[in-house]
A and B are shown apart, each in its own frame.
Chain A
Amino acid sequence: MTWTIARKEILSNLSSYKFFVVFLLTVLLTAASFFIMHRDFMQRTADFQIIRPKPGEPIALLPPNPMAVFAKGLEDAMTRSFEIDAYGITVRAGQSSGNIIYAFFPAPDFLYIVRVVLSLVALLFGFDQVSRERERGTLKLILGSSVSRARVLFGKWLGNFLSLAVPFLLVTHLGTAFLLLDPNVHFSAGRLGRLALILGLSLLYMSFFLTLGILISTLTKRSASSIVVLLFIWTLLVFVIPNLGTLLARQFVSVPSVRALSERRRQTWTREVLLSLKGGDWAGHMRAINDDNDRMEEDYRGKFERLVRLSRDINRVSPAAGFLDAVSEIAGTGIGEESRLKREVVRYKNSIIDKVIANRAISNKSAEYPAFHYVPRSLAEIFAQGALFNMAWLVFFNIISFALAFWAFIRYDVR
């Protein structure tokens, strides 16, 4: 019986104009997204070929990450080049493809489309599930037969979920296939696994909004008011709350400004150099500077990470924020990955700084250093550091909204 209802839902969706328009919009947007982001990736790769460090240069620079096509996240910050010299670490722009044109509107990556557009589409599928049937009077007929309410609700959910998920997966597969045509994009089995995870998360996220739509449609009498309420909730969840967390967190944690820090570092350096001119060994002074810098940096990072953690925790109230967090972490462009990269760069610096200082003291410019190796976190680590929690959180949101919808539907007055 459940399947019959699901089939009816799918068929009625397929024959509606809503489905057609929505499908068209999604295809258009996804195609545009894959195209633009792939172009961006190509330009980054070209840039990387030019500025990649020569063997022996003490520069830490990551190659562009093809997963950024799906979730751009902090890719820009992660592909800057970190140059190690006697001063410490100098950060340079790295691969900025010069396409500042995208800086005006948010980057149209796959994640953005799912987070903003497809959640809206899911709402559109869910908002009139119960109220429309009541308005038309068909709900009375269905419930008058011997089918249980739970089956009706689940059948509706299943039918709509399938009519959302199948076209979505089709379009995404086409996009990925297009991406794989480029020989520069190398997707190992691990990356494909990550992609599958991202798709799974996206389905969970869309299912939450679908269930939310069904829930609100059982709580309201008219589908017109149901969609208005839903859109308010959607605005709050997708745009407002994710930003509120950052705003609030800033009020509680104060972080010294980055620039002031880096300039203070320079000042310490000047001071020590002046001391070293008066006598004493130069390398010793440089080491003193570096220890000083490391202390300052550590203090700063500690505060900054507290700020980031707090804002993430507040943002979690919205499944959209948690979803974004989890997907970008899995894609390797998230906050956790970025701070790990920074730590690795510091470690790299510490491992070669003595050599750099010693070589500089004898002005040996042709010295060679070991290259910087960065191994991205494994999925297990990513899960352990928050992604699993976010995933569970999303599942929890799904269950809660479905349970509430069930509760409301059981008590629903059909008249």
Chain B
Amino acid sequence: MLKTIIKKELLENIFSYRFPLFALISILLIPLGMYVNQIDHNKRVRDYYEQQRLANEAVTAISMQDLMAGAVAVKGFRPPALLSVFAQGFESALPRYYEFTQDGFKPGESSSGDESILSVQGKVDFVFLVQMVISLISLLFAADTISGEKESGTLRAMLSNRLPRDTILVGKLFGGTLALWIPLILAFLLGTVMLLLGSFPFFSGDTPVRLLIIFLSTLFFVLIYYMIGMMISTSSSKTRTSVVAILLIWVFFQLIIPKLSDMLGVLVYPVRTETEVSLEKSLLAKSIDNETAKELGRQFDLIFSGAREGAADDLASPERKKWDAVKGGIEQRARERKSQQISAIDETYLQQKRRQRNLAVNLSLISPSAVFARFIADVCGTGEIERSKYLDAVKAHQKALDNELFSKVKRTVMISPRGGTSLGFSVQPVDFQKLPKFSVASTSLAETFKENWRSLVSLAFWLIAPFAVAYVRFLKYDVR
């Protein structure tokens, strides 16, 4: 009997006027979106290699003079994420590269840059289409499943047969969802074939697994929205009411929750901007440098005031030995103090930002669509995880470069108490060919799942709760 109901639902949906519209939208848009995103992606990859080559050339051209002048900036590029074809996420908002200098790192331009003009109307990727367009269509398909039959009176006839109500509900659920899945699966396959024709490296690494995850979660997502629609449909006696209610719920999930969670995040945990923090850091560094220079000048005068002429340049003189020890000590302390205070600022700032972000992300767990978008972005390597990993990689690289490159040149600035400034250098040789290479650690699937367990729980909740409500309401339903 279940099969009969599923078949009836499926056929009814396929022959309704909505079905061709939906099929057209999904089969046209999804592959087209993938195709265009792939063109963009290929361009980004070409740019990435070209830029990296040029940056490497620039590194080999660095001279010790540049290093001494503090004018060396090494660039580290982030490779474009392959699966950004499916979910753009932060891909175009993240800086393309970071610039590493003696005084720390600063972000380069984000890839949106000049091309942002084209994304004024919004970006179309697979996730966006599923999240905004397909979700609405799923709800609409579900809107009249029960209330429509109530209105036309066929529900009464159906229930007078020897047919358990749960069979009807389950049959309707699967019939309706299947009708939605068929065009979606076709569109996805078509898009993937198009990607393959465009030399998309389909079989590299765990790409097929990731694609499968994207595909399956999309199917589940559609199922969730269909169930939410059914829940509303069983709760209202008229299709018109259920459509209006569905629309409001859609607006709430799709538009209000993501914005409201951002707003609450900002409201509860306000943070300063990055520019303000970097200003604070550079002011701190400057004041410590200044203090050190003054201290060095004072000590220099103390040690060499009674010494003979030329003692400062004579490596063997006792004053010079004492001076070297004192100088080393002062510089060491200053370096430690500087790195400690700066990393304290960084740490607090990061913590504040993480708190704000966590609140926003956790609040947006209420909406299945926000959860879906974030999860898929993480699977595609363009989500939160990638962002934090990129930043970690940048910090690690700065440390490595400090050790290998920037610390090889020591500038000693002295401000004498009698006035006047002097500048000295001590230089160790650097092999510019063997500088550490910048790379961002890739995220394994296990990590993605571990980071996203809340999202998965939320999705599971949305998979079960609407069905339970629909079930109870339908069982209690008075047919008259």
A binds B: yes
| Residues on B with beta carbons closer than 8 Å to the beta carbon of A47 | 273, 275-276
Q: Count of A residues near B, CB < 8 Å?
A: 78
**For the side of the interface on B, what is the size category?**
35 or more
With contact pairs A36-B263, A77-B113 given, residues A43 and B273 touching in the complex (Cβ less than 8 Å) = yes
Bound: A51/B414 CA distance, A? 29
Of the 9-residue stretches A92-100, A164-172, A349-357, which lies at the interface with chain B?
A: A92-100
| Residues on A with beta carbons closer than 8 Å to the beta carbon of B21 | 232
Q: A residues touching B (Cβ–Cβ < 8 Å)?
A: 18, 21-22, 25, 28-29, 32-33, 35-36, 39, 43, 46-47, 50-51, 73-74, 76-77, 80, 91-93, 95-106, 108, 116-117, 120, 124, 128, 132, 222-225, 227-228, 231-232, 235-236, 239-240, 242-247, 250, 257-260, 263, 266, 304, 307-308, 311, 315, 321, 324, 328, 335, 338
| Closest Cβ–Cβ distance, residue A188 to chain B (whole Å) | 26
With contact pairs A36-B263, A101-B265 given, residues A25 and B256 touching in the complex (Cβ less than 8 Å) = yes
The answer to whether A246 and B275 touch across the interface, beta carbons within 8 angstroms, is no
The answer to whether B276 and A50 touch across the interface, beta carbons within 8 angstroms, is yes
The answer to whether A104 and B243 touch across the interface, beta carbons within 8 angstroms, is no
The answer to whether A50 and B93 touch across the interface, beta carbons within 8 angstroms, is no
Q: B residues touching A (Cβ–Cβ < 8 Å)?
A: 17-18, 21, 25, 29, 32-33, 36, 39, 43, 46-47, 50-51, 54, 89-90, 93-95, 107-110, 112-124, 132-133, 136-137, 140, 143-144, 148, 239-240, 243-244, 247-248, 251-252, 255-256, 258-260, 262-263, 265-267, 270-276, 279, 353, 356-357, 360, 370, 373-374, 377, 387
| Closest Cβ–Cβ distance, residue A70 to chain B (whole Å) | 15
| Residues on B with beta carbons closer than 8 Å to the beta carbon of A116 | 255
| Closest Cβ–Cβ distance, residue B413 to chain A (whole Å) | 19
The answer to whether B259 and A98 touch across the interface, beta carbons within 8 angstroms, is no
The answer to whether A260 and B118 touch across the interface, beta carbons within 8 angstroms, is no
Q: Which of B108, B117, B144 has the most chain A CB atoms inside 10 A of its CB?
A: B117
Apart from A25-B256, A307-B118: 7 A-B pairs, beta carbons within 8 A: A47-B273, A93-B107, A96-B274, A105-B370, A239-B132, A239-B133, A259-B50
Smallest CB-CB separation from B255: which chain A residue? A117
The answer to whether B377 and A104 touch across the interface, beta carbons within 8 angstroms, is yes
> 22 A-B Cβ contacts within 8 A?
A25-B251, A32-B263, A35-B263, A36-B263, A46-B276, A74-B120, A77-B112, A98-B275, A100-B94, A104-B258, A224-B239, A231-B247, A232-B18, A239-B132, A243-B121, A243-B122, A243-B124, A247-B36, A250-B39, A258-B114, A263-B51, A308-B117
The answer to whether A32 and B259 touch across the interface, beta carbons within 8 angstroms, is yes
Contact pick for B279, options A50, A77, A228, CB 8 Å: A50
| Residues on B with beta carbons closer than 8 Å to the beta carbon of A18 | 244
| Residues on A with beta carbons closer than 8 Å to the beta carbon of B114 | 77, 258, 304
The answer to whether A224 and B259 touch across the interface, beta carbons within 8 angstroms, is no
The answer to whether A95 and B275 touch across the interface, beta carbons within 8 angstroms, is yes
The answer to whether B47 and A260 touch across the interface, beta carbons within 8 angstroms, is yes
Q: Which of B114, B124, B271, B387 has the most chain A CB atoms inside 10 A of its CB?
A: B114
Smallest CB-CB separation from A43: which chain B residue? B273
The answer to whether B259 and A105 touch across the interface, beta carbons within 8 angstroms, is yes
Contact pick for A104, options B46, B47, B51, B90, CB 8 Å: B90
With contact pairs A32-B259, A33-B259, A51-B275 given, residues A263 and B54 touching in the complex (Cβ less than 8 Å) = yes
Bound: A379/B248 CA distance, A? 37
The answer to whether B148 and A74 touch across the interface, beta carbons within 8 angstroms, is no
With contact pairs A29-B256, A132-B240, A239-B133 given, residues A76 and B90 touching in the complex (Cβ less than 8 Å) = no
Bound: A155/B132 CA distance, A? 34
Bound: A138/B357 CA distance, A? 53
| Residues on A with beta carbons closer than 8 Å to the beta carbon of B262 | 36, 101-102, 105, 108
With contact pairs A32-B263, A93-B107, A104-B373 given, residues A76 and B240 touching in the complex (Cβ less than 8 Å) = no
The answer to whether A224 and B144 touch across the interface, beta carbons within 8 angstroms, is yes
The answer to whether B51 and A259 touch across the interface, beta carbons within 8 angstroms, is yes
Bound: A266/B58 CA distance, A? 11
Bound: A313/B27 CA distance, A? 24
| Residues on A with beta carbons closer than 8 Å to the beta carbon of B258 | 104-105
Contact pick for A260, options B46, B263, B265, B266, CB 8 Å: B46
| Closest Cβ–Cβ distance, residue B426 to chain A (whole Å) | 26
Bound: A120/B251 CA distance, A? 9
